[in-house]
Chains A and B, each alone.
Chain A
Amino acid sequence: MKTTKRAALLALAVLTAGTAAKADEIVIATTGGLMRNEMEQWFYLPFAEATGTEVIPFDIEVPDQWARAEGMVRTGQVEFDIVTATGPDLVGKADMLVDIPCDTLENVKEYALPGACQPKGIARTTGGMVLTYNTETYADNPPDSWADFWDVETYPGPRGLPDTGDRDWWLPTVALLADGVAKEDLYPLDLDRAYAKLEEIRPHIAVWWKTGNQVQQIMRDNEIAMTMAYSGRALKVIQDGSPFAMAWDGAIRDTGYLAVLKDSPNPEGAMNFINFFYGAAEGHPGFIQAVGYATSSTIGLSQLPEEEQKLYATYPANYELLVDPDFEWIGANRDELRERWTNWLLQ
């Protein structure tokens, strides 16, 4: 009986201590696994050491995160400080997000690449939705464009496409590229033409993958011979020794942004973290190599050997092959894009 009482008291003490410390912590929502682990190693822990502000990581896929955030706003209990935002989110979720003071955060002013700091979010990592293929299956004649992805005669084999994230505009975009539309003429998207083209490839899609972990898994397990993948996820599989390569032509630029929720518990801590993230030179090379995505701090990618820089989306020769999405148009037409996608996919 006595032991129980003591245990209860102890639990109470721990609980109270937790509440007291709350002022000096921030909650950062990112996708779990690789991204969470590496952010923690290279930035969260050094940040806590430098400032005393503890970072609580929260693992969640981006669509789920917004659902959660929406629920938090509904109930008035906002628990995330920093969330992960995609380009369209910066337009679509703008009224849930606070402005980033690009001009007053010192390290951002000093080191951020042009365009990295947007009104509602600041670039964390940049990659591409890239065509990835098995180099053994296509040893003699590797595919190098979305037109080749659609060409099942010349390049037979099961394919994968995403059913997660922003597939409602990613896939119409690459379908139009495959149909011969030039990169600069893509937006506004001709959806009728895009879906007619998607209909062609549909029977050849063996896996509609749902998460970054799953796309890596289907590559390793040879469940597919070609797939659209997050470039950083694909890079990791390649570095682990699986026979895959990336074709950068027509890859969709995919920047993950850090954004701060309105009415978050610790907005000041959140801005401090963003400033720290852009200035922590020693964190960037290790982080970039580990996650396979380049940061947008000028003290980042340039620290790597030239040869290695070529594996990243922000390497100049790759960067010019990327599709630069029109987020204004996408944001303004998001509901229609979603509806169209859902209705097509579920058929």
Chain B
Amino acid sequence: MSLSSFMQPDGRNLSKAGITLLMAPFFMLIGIAFLYPLISLLSISVTEPELGFQNYERILDTPVYGKVLLRTLWIALLVSILSLFLAFPVAMAMVSSGGAMAVFITACILLPFWSSVLVRTAAWAVLLQRNGIVNDLLQAIGIIDAPVRLLYTQGAVVVAMTHVLMPFMVLPIYGALRNIPQDYGRAAAICGAGPLRGFIEVTLPLAMPGVLGGFILVFLTALGYFITPALLGSPQEMMIATLISQQLREFLDWPFAAALVGVLTLFVTAITLVFSRVFRFDRMLGGQV
């Protein structure tokens, strides 16, 4: 086969064969490292200890597992909403400020990426412990008399997860905002819209693809989050990823853990589908520039 068969006749673009060849390593990686293990794990959930759905029935029959799932969805939602409200102003500041300031903000956003999640989570543990900085400060300024429990609470989990996941919200919103031509804002002002109305009717709709993209990224990542809830939460904050790991590593119940993975996969798929519909709907209304 000569080199030319990977090219279109015009000699500039890749032919179908060329594209397939270039994509092959990627699809092989996905197949071997992701799809195969996932499918073989999911098959355990319906074939062991015997053929059938008894592992799934156990999830439905035991209220506590539903509770963990609901809690996982709730924490993921809280984290996404909190990230959104923190990230939007930051993204706007990045777009509107130029030069050194923009570089500085970008660095602040990206810097945490250079340290491991474990380190960032452990830092929160140091801040929030009973004799930690936050408790000392609150006592010093007289808000509380004795140390309060901050560590190993739902609040600790949500705050730390928001901190870790916020960059995934900032970057897509920043991308969307930067693509809005400045003329639009000026046009809105000329037509008589105040800053607030201009924001609500022009900037926000145009930024929606970024908002939704960031939201889904943060939400789905939070759903499967493991290390932060495991280190900063108590068992009462246990999320589904920790539950799966516990079933696998401690109780050695592979089929049941596989069933929990099945349920989580189902939720993630369903949510992705719903979001992508909303996404396209939004484009139809002209949200995309």
- Determine if B252 and A70 form an interchain contact, defined as CB atoms under 8 angstroms apart: yes
A38 lies within 8 A of chain B by Cβ? no
Contact A63 B250, beta carbon cutoff 8 Å: yes
Asked if A163 and B151 make an inter-chain contact with CB atoms under 8 angstroms apart, the answer reads no
Q: In the bound complex, do residue A158 and residue B149 qualify as a contact, i.e. CB atoms below 8 Å apart?
A: yes
Cβ 8 A contact of B64, one of A63, A338, A342? A342
Nearest-Cβ distance from residue B133 to partner chain A, whole angstroms: 13
Give residues 53-76 of A contacting B (CB, 8 Å).
Answer: 63-64, 66-67, 70
Q: Which residues of A contact B68 (CB under 8 A)?
A: 346
Binds A, one of B86-94, B162-170, B231-239: B231-239
Residues in B with CB closer than 8 Å to A221 are 129-131
Judge whether A345 is part of the interface by a CB distance below 8 angstroms.
yes
Query: Does B64 contact A347, Cβ atoms closer than 8 Å?
Result: yes
The answer to whether B250 and A208 have CB atoms under 8 Å apart is no
A290 on interface, CB distance cutoff 8 Å:
no
8 A Cβ contacts from A296-347 to B: 338, 342-343, 345-347
Task: Report chain B residues within 8 Å CB of A205.
Answer: 234
Give Cα A338 to B252, complex, Å: 12
A208/B234 in contact, CB under 8 A: yes
Tell whether B26 is near chain A: CB-to-CB under 8 Å.
no
Query: Which residues of chain A are within 8 angstroms of B62 by Cβ–Cβ distance?
Result: 343
The residue in chain A whose Cβ has the minimal distance to the Cβ of B71 is A346
Interface residues of B in 197-255 (CB under 8 A from A): 234-236, 238, 243, 246, 248-252
Provided the pairs A206-B130, A223-B151 are in contact, do residues A346 and B252 lie with their beta carbons within 8 angstroms?
A: no
How far apart are A92's CB and chain B's nearest CB, in angstroms? 11
A208 to B235, CA, bound (A): 7
User: Are A346 and B152 in contact, CB atoms less than 8 angstroms apart?
Assistant: no
B67: CB under 8 A from chain A? yes
Whether A346 contacts B130 in the complex (CB less than 8 A), given A206-B149, A223-B151, comes out as no
Q: State A64–B251 Cα separation when bound (angstroms).
A: 9
- Chain A contacts with B in 160-212, Cβ cutoff 8 A: 163, 205-208
Contact A207-B64, Cβ < 8 Å, known A158-B149, A223-B151: no
Q: Is the CB of B250 within 8 A of A207?
A: no
Per the bound structure, the CA–CA distance linking A345 and B236 in Å amounts to 7
Q: Judging by beta carbons under 8 Å apart, are A67 and B64 in contact?
A: no
Least CB distance, B288 to chain A, in whole angstroms:
43
Q: Are B249 and A346 in contact (CB under 8 A)?
A: no
Closest B residue to A165 by CB, please name it.
B250
Min CB distance, B37 to chain A, in Å?
14
Which one of B131, B234, B238 contacts A207 once the chains associate, using CB atoms below 8 Å? Answer: B234
Interface 1/0s, chain B 67-81, versus A by CB < 8 A? 110000000000000
Which size bracket describes the interface of A in this complex?
Answer: 20 to 34
Q: Name, among A206, A207, A342, the residue most crowded by chain B CB atoms within 10 Å (CB to CB).
A: A342
Q: Please name all residues of chain A whose beta carbon is closer than 8 Å to the beta carbon of B234 when the two chains form the complex.
A: 205, 207-208
Chain B at the A interface: SS class: loop
Q: How far is the CA of A63 from the CA of B243 in the complex (A)?
A: 14
**Separation of A294 and B131 alpha carbons in the complex (Å):** 34
B235 touches A345 (CB 8 A): yes
Q: Does A77 contact B (CB under 8 A)?
A: no
Please tell me if the beta carbons of A346 and B243 are within 8 angstroms of each other in the complex: yes
A207 to B152, CA, bound (A): 7
User: Do A222 and B235 touch (CB < 8 A)?
Assistant: no
Contact of A64 among B64, B152, B249 (CB under 8 A): B249
Whole-angstrom CA separation of A66 from B235 in the bound complex: 22
Docked-complex contact B129 and A223, CB < 8 angstroms: yes
Known: A208-B152, A221-B129, A222-B130. A64 touches B235 (CB 8 A): no
For the complex formed, measure the closest distance between the CB of A66 and the CB atoms of chain B, giving whole angstroms: 7
Minimum C-beta distance from A346 to chain B (A): 5
Q: Taking the nearest CB of chain A, how far is it from the CB of B150, in angstroms? A: 10
Q: How far is the CB of B123 from chain A (nearest CB, A)?
A: 15
Could you tell me if A67 and B248 are in contact, using CB atoms closer than 8 angstroms? yes
Q: In the complex the two chains form, what is the Cα distance from A163 to B246 in whole Å?
A: 11
Least Cβ distance of B166 to chain A in Å? 27
Q: How far is the CA of A347 from the CA of B152 in the complex (A)?
A: 15
Cβ–Cβ < 8 Å partners of B131 in chain A: 221-223
CA–CA, A295 to B181, complex, Å? 76
Question: What sequence of 0s and 1s flags, for each residue 38-64 of chain A, a beta carbon within 8 Å of any chain B beta carbon?
Answer: 000000000000000000000000011
Measured between beta carbons, the chain A residues less than 8 angstroms from B252 are: 66-67, 70
Contact string, B136-159, partner A, CB cutoff 8 A, digits 1/0?
Answer: 000000000000010110000000
Asked whether A346 lies within 8 Å of B238 as measured between CB atoms, the reply is: yes
Closest B residue by C-beta to A69? B252
User: Which chain B residues lie closer than 8 Å to A208 at the CB level?
Assistant: 152, 234-235
User: What is the chain B residue whose CB lies nearest that of A339?
Assistant: B62
Would A67 and B250 count as touching, CB distance under 8 A? yes
Contact A346/B151 with A64-B250, A221-B130 known, Cβ cut-off 8 Å = no
**Contact flag A343-B64 (CB < 8 Å), given A64-B250, A158-B149:** yes
Residue of B nearest to A67 (CB): B249
Distance of A206 Cα from B149 Cα, bound (Å): 7
Q: Which positions 123-147 of chain A face chain B at CB distance < 8 Å?
A: none
Given the known interface contacts A206-B152, A207-B152, A223-B151, the answer about A346 and B250 at a Cβ–Cβ threshold of 8 Å is: no
Residues of B within 8 A of A347 (CB): 64, 67, 236
Complex CA–CA separation, A163 to B249 (angstroms): 14
Min CB–CB distance B72 → chain A (angstroms): 12
Against B, the Cβ 8 Å flags (1 = close, 0 = not) of A207-225 are 1100000000000011100
Known: A158-B149, A345-B236, A346-B67. 9 other contacts (CB 8 A): A64-B250, A66-B252, A70-B252, A158-B130, A206-B149, A343-B64, A345-B235, A346-B243, A347-B64
Can you report 5 A-B residue pairs in the complex whose CB atoms are below 8 A from each other?
A207-B152, A208-B152, A208-B235, A343-B64, A347-B64
The 6 A-B residue pairs whose C-beta atoms are closest, nearest first, are A63-B250, A67-B249, A345-B235, A343-B64, A346-B64, A70-B252
